[in-house]
Amino acid sequence: MATLTYVYSDSTAVVGPLATYAEPHSYDLCDAHADRLTAPRGWEVVRLDVDAQTSGPVGDDLAALADAVREAARPATGPQPPPPPLESDPGHDIGRRGHLRVLPPATQ
């Protein structure tokens, strides 16, 4: 896997290691497409080779990810306090259920 990043100001396409976060003008490619990539006429393709063994997550990264997933999956203990009232429109009662909320009808 590789990430393709276009640098429009330099007319350059960079094919490098798989990115760990989303970035504008970046696209993840499989190995076959990364190897066959060509750039528009007048553009330069820069290929950054990375050792496959060092490009993946290390044991500490995987352990931290597993701990975060376990923590998120634990049920909350004890009664949960009610959510604070919404202050955007104090004159109307607004129903709330989880992350969804019911808004009052729009007044004209």
Q: Which of 47, 40, 52, 42 is nearest to 3 (CA)?
A: 47
Asked whether residue 86 carries a pLDDT value surpassing 60, the answer given is no
Confidence of residue 53 (pLDDT cuts 50, 70, 90): very low
* CA atoms of 93 and 86, how far apart (whole Å): 9
Q: Is 2 exposed, middle or buried (0-12, 13-18, 19+ CB in 10 A)?
A: buried
Q: Is the pTM of this model over 0.75?
A: no
**β-sheet bridge partners, residue 44:** 12
End-to-end CA distance of the chain: 54
Q: Which of 83, 15, 82 is nearest to 5 (CA)?
A: 15
> Above pLDDT 90, what percent of the chain?
8
Q: Which of 47, 52, 44 is nearest to 16 (CA)?
A: 47
